[in-house]
Every structure is written in C-alpha cells, then in structure tokens.
Amino acid sequence: MSTGEFGVIGLGRMGGGLASLALEKQLRVAGFSRGGAAKELTAAGLIEIKQLADFRARLKPPRIVLLYIPAGPGVDDVLTSLSECLEAGDVIVDGGNSYWGDSIRRHRQLKDRDLDFVDLGTSGGQSGARTGACFMAGGENRAVALIEPILRVLAVPGGFVHAGPPGAGHFVKLVHNGIEFAMMQGIAEGFELLTKYNQPLDIRAVLECWRHGSVIRSWLLDLLSQAYNDDPHLRKPTSYIEDTGEVNWLVADALRMEAPIPAIALSVMQLVGSRDERRNWAKAIVAMRHGFGGHPFGRDENVARERREGKVGERLQSKAR
C-alpha cells in the first residue's frame, strides 16, 4: 500500500497548487490536464499523464486519483473514463464543488464497479492550495482512511475532517460557502455604512484596527483591508458580482429541509441583484409605490429633503448629540 503518491486530474489553480505543494512535501504526483501540465510542475517533478489509462501503470495500488475540475456533467464523463482504467479498491476523490446529491449517486455507481469514491470539500483558495488547505471528506471509512495521510500532509494543522458518509463532504462545503456569502455581505454592508458617514472617516485605519482583536476579525476582512489599501476608491472592481451558482443549491436545499437561512438566502439575492444593470426590480418597485401612494418616478428633491430632514432623522440626530 502506497500512501506517498497520488494522481490528480485538473492542474489549474487548485489542482495545480496542491500538486505543487505535494511535490514540495516529497510526495510522488502524477497529473493530467487537457491543456497539458505547466512547465513549473514538470520541472518540480510532476509525472505528466497524457491519457487517463496511464494512471494505472504509473501509480501503485490502491491508487488514489483526485479530481479538480468544474462541477457538472464533465465530472461524470471523467469518472466514466477513469473507472474503465482503474482496478478494484482504487479511490477516486472529487475535490471540486460538486452538488452533494450528485456525489451520493456517483458513489453508488462507482461502488458497483468495486471502486471507492470520496467527495472532498476543499477550502482555502489559491493560497491554501499552495500552503495548506482545509479538507472536508465524505465517504466510507475505508476509502477516507486511505486518503487521509495524504490530505493531512496537504492540509493546515487541524484542517481535515471526515465529515460523514458519502455526500457529506460536499454538503458541508456547500454550507461553508453559504456562510461565506453571508459573512461577505455583512462586511460589505458595514463598509458601505463607513463610506456614508456624515464626516470623513479614516476607513483604512478602521479596517486595519478591526483586523486586530475585534470580534469580526477574519481572512475576509483582511482581504477587504488589503484591497482598500491598494485602491481606496475601489475603482478597479465593478459592481457586477460573478459566481458559479453553488449557493443557489443550498437555498433550494434549505427550503426542502424547512431550515430557515435568511441571511444566506438574502446574500444570494443581493448578489444576483448586483448584475441587473437596468435595475428592472427597482423599476417595478417604483411603479408599485407610485400606484398605491403617488410616490414620484425617479429622483425628487422634495422627497429627498423630507428624508434628510424628517422627524425620524431629527430624533436620531438629537440622540447623537
């Protein structure tokens, strides 16, 4: 039994980063990528695989092959091809962001071929792939026990958990991503408030202060602080937020599970709302408000002045004094 080697399919940001880290840790790595392996990887010792069938010859049984490819039908295609090349007892690990229900199905299908399957949630981003990631594994005990020694080498201290049976790894990672969305939304809304204060604030210093000892200190806050330091007006990013849609699955799951997740669900809705440059949803609200209350279409200085100088505002200002 060899626990010092593995194969990886997909040598992009995550798969390639983990392969590089493994090579630095003196593990033996065989890798396949449709576009070919980067020269840096082969120079570091990666055994480049030109076709999936070569994994059988280049790795010792029981073989461990990690997949870091986009979620979707492509995963099924690779699993079908790979399962025809490997032997009974080998382990295939999906480290991407596949849906947990698909992972349960894939586990059953591969079990029929006497192959083990582990769904592996992977967190830490590109930097984690290069310096130590966080792994959440779902699968049967034997399969997870086979891959655990390798994953502990590639993880930060404490950054490995056998979360549960097949599907659990990707479910836990999906919940993780939902929490991530809600945290980012909260930080972003707080940042927005800082920019709206009626006197100039040293936002750079505030963010830096919050990074040290505050209850909300976090890697996400570190990232925002760095971005603000580099570009105080955030001119470079647009307000269009792109994502692959995995957290949409979580919102649908929560509805079926009758589990209320308003913060996560609203963060997803806000993300989607950021993309509507025409703001059709806002136009609909304007139309309805005009219909029931005669509220103006668009900007109206009289209404804006009432908002700024209204009784509620006066009470809040008097308390502030």
Whose tokens are 């649908």? That residue is: 252
Q: Which amino acid is at 68?
A: Y
CA distance 260 to 39: 48
**Active-site residue flag, 319:** no
**Active-site residue flag, 60:** no
What string of DSSP letters covers 120-182?
EEEESHHHHHHH-EEEEEES-HHHHHHHHHHHHHHEEEEEEEEEESTTHHHHHHHHHHHHHHH
Which entry of 25, 173, 242, 314 is annotated as an active-site residue? 173
Which entry of 180, 192, 236, 246 is annotated as an active-site residue? 180
Tokens found for residue 257: 């599970």
Contact 220, 210 (CB under 8 A): no
CA distance 6 to 31: 9
Tokens found for residue 105: 């199905």
- Strands in 28-32's sheet, in edge-to-edge order, are 47-48, 28-32, 5-9, 64-67, 91-94, 116-123, 133-138, 155-164
What is the DSSP pairing of strand 133-138 with strand 116-123?
Answer: antiparallel
State the catalytic residues: 173, 180
